[in-house]
Structure 1
Amino acid sequence: MTTLFISDLHLSPSRPDITECFIDFMKNEAIHATKLYVLGDLFEFWIGDDDNSDFSMHIQKEFKALTQLGVQCYFTQGNRDFLVGKRFAKQTGMTLLADETVIDLYGRKAVILHGDTLCTLDVKYLEYRKTVHQPWLQWIFNRIPFFIKRKIVSKVQTDIKEEKQSKSLDIMDVTPDEVISVMDTHHVDLMIHGHTHRPNIHELQTSSGNSTRIVLGDWYTQGSILVYDENGFNLKSKPFQYP
């Protein structure tokens, strides 16, 4: 029995190297797992479940093939794909999770999340996040013609990229006190998240005693996979093997 975790793939047609690495992972590694958790930012940007492009359908078919084999797949929305919804879940066979979810990992309780909400110093981003997560706003956006949504998203992406260049790395990293607060709230000694693109294993003290925070890496230059089983865990990289 093995549980896998991935995040921050940022899949897009413009990065076929990442897509090929992901597909190789799905066909040769994920099929042997019991469960697969995708902790957000699977896509560079998900415009909506009405995206029926060849690229979108290809990725969805990979997950559908995996769930049909009996591998349980779970999805936590990230800051790039917060519009992934029920239609996507139905078409892939995946289960959508809340922003923070407590799971059992072979007898050890863990809280899993994308990780953006841990960056409390990035006040401007959290205000933006609060706005775009308004149900009424998403309801309206989901009913706009797809080609118009694409233009809106393109503008948002440009603005985000420009703003990110002016932010310090500290602002975009997690706030230690918030990490402890979330772990204490859920009474766990293990946290798993992505978002920061800083793969690492951190040891810390919480109300539960000695605790661990595992940060998943992005897939910009190589894959990043957390393998967890009854014997422990291994945060490993997966090299790109394609030109």
Structure 2
Amino acid sequence: MTAPRLTHAISIGRPTGMLLCLLLTLTTAAARANHLSQHRSPPMRRPLPLPEAPAQNQATLLQKLRELIGYNPRQAVGGSRSGSAGQLCLITPRFRQRADGVATAVVSSPTPALLAAGPLNEVRLERDGRILWGRRASSSHPITGAIPWPLSPLQPGETVTLRLRPQGAAGADFASVELQAAAAAEQQRAEKLLADQAPRLELIEAQALQGRSALASELLFAPMQKTPAAIISLRRQLIEQGCGINSATP
């Protein structure tokens, strides 16, 4: 009866040994995995984005542009006797006073906007004394704000005379500015800038820094489909500082 017991013990002992080997193998693998996890390099982290450079103070920028662009001196209205109607403040185009007293503006855009501060009774564009275009205010509705160019585009070198009569001035009392179209290359530059999709304020700043204050002024007051707040503010500042008028933005 001894042999059967031995055989039974052996038949049971074989699977038990295999089980022990399996457990030992799993234990060793778990220990190795734990060791590797403890000594594994930490996962790579993406670097945090650098903080953005602080935006240039817009008020400082507008002040700088206002100084670079400058403004026209007040013009005497011919024949006026006295009072506020004796002077006119033309915002754009920018002009220079010649030695003979004639105000002359070289305009880069073939279709420059026309803007005077304060209400007007009449605006004309003339050549050799002949009226090419004119507009008169009614008794209750003076002419205010920017006037889009009403004629066909100016050709390079073409000259017309802008005549402006402020509200309250007599019928023959006008301020006059001779408008001279720039050369073809300058006209092309202006048209390219006006069609540029870049922010208008950036374009104005670039021209002002290059000493093209008249072109910068034309860009500033040129009509826009949607006028940014910074452009509105700069327009208002130039009118207030140049003309001493606290008026609504044109």
With normalisation by structure 1, the TM-score equals 0.24
* Structure number having the greater strand percentage: 1
Q: TM-score, normalised by structure 2?
A: 0.24
Higher-RCO chain (CA-CA 8 Å, sequence separation at least 6): 1
Bigger Rg, which one: 2
